[in-house]
Chains A and B, each alone.
Chain A
Amino acid sequence: MSRQIGDVILDLQSISLRFGGVKALTDISFDIREHEVRAIIGPNGAGKSSMLNVINGVYHPQDGKILYRGVERKKMEPHMAASTGIARTFQNIALFKGMSVLDNIMTGRTLKMKSNLLLQALWFGPAQKEELEHRRKVEEIIDFLEIQHIRKTPVGRLPYGLQKRVDLGRALAMEPQILLLDEPMAGMNVEEKQDMCRFILDVNDQFGTTIVLIEHDMGVVMDISDRVVVLDYGKKIGDGLPDEVRANPEVIKAYLGAGH
């Protein structure tokens, strides 16, 4: 592999998140290095999705700091996180159901489109040129994900596996620095999982995108991730290389129960 794991790009320091009396995350610290595939695993309700929501600004932790490229990040809204280069996909697909595949992925380019409302209204000059430029980029993504045949289909009509792929495409259209994937392989069969793994590894390899991955399929996690962090009941119980994590007694206890 050509990719080189770089410096810490995102550093999370003692993050705590509460909803009223419920502690979703307690004092969690870990870092994400540039170009790596970082997996977050844990049993249901461990706080994995909450962690992603903290990273891209949907939830605001009560305590803790987030350093992005060494600079402390202020409290931010999701669209601001997006403009700093953080993209994500969703556990329960959150595509724009009424729009075609093409439009969904084009929507991912929103931040890069600058022409003003008046020019768009007239479909004139820079607005039209911009639209074409971004169409070209989007077509590259469509080629990459091998979904040329469905580009004009409304996403609501697509089978689940393809919807997941479009979801990934929409996130890729943002040309993100960090890509957060929330269970990209949930509910897929073996072939679909293999395809998805291939796409994830290709994205990581070709574009150098840092990937943060939540996944329940341990085979997949152990195979494709560089480092793994394990959460349980909102606490971090393990962090390290896949093999280290696999051998960690606490992790085994969390997954298999104390009697093991």
Chain B
Amino acid sequence: MFYRENGQFKTTYAADQQIFTIAQDKWFVLGVIAFAFLVVPMLADEYMFRAILIPFLILSLAALGVNLLVGYCGQITLGAGAFMAVGAYAAYNFLIRIDGMPLIAALLLGGLVSAGMGILFGIPSLRVRGLYLAVATLAAQFFCDWAFLRIKWFTNDSASGSVSISELNVFGWIIDSPTEKYLFCLAFIVLFAIIGKNLTRATIGRQWMAIRDMDVAAEVIGIRPMYAKLSAFAVSSFFVGVAGALWGFVHLGSWEPAAFSVDRSFQLLFMVIIGGLGSILGSFFGAAFIVVLPIFLNQFLPALGSLFGIAISTAAVSHAELIIFGSLIVFFLIVEPHGLARLWAIAKEKLRLWPFPH
């Protein structure tokens, strides 16, 4: 009833090219952002921040990066974990090797190095596509796993192979409480989501989508495939690299190469597929689904068992968690192959016309 665009006339093209062309959408999203900044810190406890909210935010950012490449440009990648690792280790090295390097600059430089790696490992995309490209990007994963494990320089010659960040200092603001970490990540994610949205509605985003939808036609109207594909790899890896740096610095604090294994790459790809390919919002849905659902099942299954008077052991819970999680993914992909974002879009479409069917 209240979700209507009636009476919202646009008299300029600028008004028609806003991110949210319907006023209710704009207020809703602004409301969610305000809620996340102001209300959530008061409500959530430490466990909530550490186990759910911070991982959710950082993985959303990584999923957003992967979505730019896979969902918008149509270039499949299995190397996202590697680019997270590159971002994290590069940021770490910038921070410890250059005196007085500000934290934010280190994080962004980590992203830039990751972007460079993305371009390098994106070069095969000029020749191969689909599954073959996936295999080529998998090479990035194995290369990085090897490099960060074996080349001691990257880990500052630490004996155990793990590196750690002593304190997070943003221009004098020491980030140590979970709430501060959450707010720090949240600020990053909001900023990057806006950047992602801007890119996808600008000419570069259209070039990516053109390459995704019909590459011959794209080339015929003057899009350089090399520029479009490699820029998608670069921007995507930048996002993923910054996410990786945040993951290492803010979420983990100290980490080993195993933190960015091939499992992470698959996880990010699943997030994008479940959330919705080619949708900024979908990246958040996908991350929420993958991060929150296992935790929810973990809590919910024993409760369900006790309801029927059955005590479920922790081992059984963790097995059941995997089974249910896996079958839910399959179910979703069959019912809605375009992901949660499409369900959301359909719901909005219906709501606009409600209570009428057409």
Residues of A within 8 A of B (CB): 56, 58, 77-79, 81-83, 87-88, 90, 94-99, 103, 106-111, 113, 115, 117, 120-123, 127-128, 130-132, 135-136, 139, 170-171, 174
Q: Which residues of B contact A121 (CB under 8 A)?
A: 195, 198-199, 202
Task: Jot down 20 A-B pairs with beta carbons below 8 A, ordered by A.
Answer: A56-B220, A58-B219, A77-B219, A79-B222, A90-B217, A94-B217, A95-B213, A95-B217, A96-B214, A97-B213, A107-B206, A107-B210, A107-B218, A113-B203, A121-B198, A121-B202, A123-B198, A128-B14, A131-B17, A132-B14
Q: What is the predominant secondary structure among interface residues of chain B facing chain A?
A: helix
A-B contact count (CB 8 A): 108
CB-CB contacts below 8 Å: B278-307 with A:
278
A78 to B214, CA, bound (A): 14
Number of residues in B with C-beta < 8 Å to the partner?
Answer: 31
Asked if A58 and B220 sit within 8 Å, CB to CB, the answer is yes
Contact B221 A170 (CB under 8 A): yes
The answer to whether B13 touches A79, judged by C-beta atoms less than 8 angstroms apart, is no
Whether the pair A110, B207 counts as a contact (CB closer than 8 A) is yes
- Residues on the B chain within 8 Å of A82, using CB: 219-222
- Kindly state whether residue B119 has any CB partner on chain A within 8 Å: no
Q: With an 8 A cutoff between CB atoms, is B224 at the interface?
A: yes
Q: Which of chain A's residues has its CB closest to B225's CB?
A: A79
Tell whether, in the assembled complex, residue A110 and residue B217 are in contact, meaning their CB atoms are under 8 Å apart.
no
Max chain B CB contacts within 10 Å: which of A94, A95, A127?
A94
Question: Which B residues are CB-close (under 8 A) to A99?
Answer: 206, 209-210, 213
CB distance from B19 to the nearest CB of A (A): 8
Contact B222 A83 (CB under 8 A): yes
Chain B residues contacting A98 (CB-CB under 8 Å) are 209, 212-213, 278
Within B180-223, which residues are at the interface with A (CB < 8 Å)? 195, 198-199, 201-204, 206-207, 209-210, 212-214, 216-223
B219 lies within 8 A of A122 (CB): no
Interface residues of B (CB under 8 A from A): 13-14, 16-17, 195, 198-199, 201-204, 206-207, 209-210, 212-214, 216-225, 231, 235, 278
Give chain A residues whose Cβ lies under 8 Å from the Cβ of B212: 96, 98
Asked whether B220 lies within 8 Å of A120 as measured between CB atoms, the reply is no
- CB-CB nearest in chain A for B19: A123
Q: Which A residue's beta carbon lies closest to that of B227?
A: A79
- CA–CA, A170 and B220, complex, Å: 11
Closest CB of chain B to A86's CB: distance in Å? 9
Q: Are A79 and B217 in contact (CB under 8 A)?
A: no
Contacts of B206 in A (CB 8 A): 99, 103, 106-107, 110
Residues of chain A contacted by B17 (CB below 8 angstroms): 131-132, 135
Contact A107 B207 (CB under 8 A): yes
Contact B13 A132, beta carbon cutoff 8 Å: yes
Beyond known contacts A117-B235, A139-B13: 5 more, CB 8 A cutoff: A79-B225, A87-B221, A96-B210, A107-B221, A115-B203
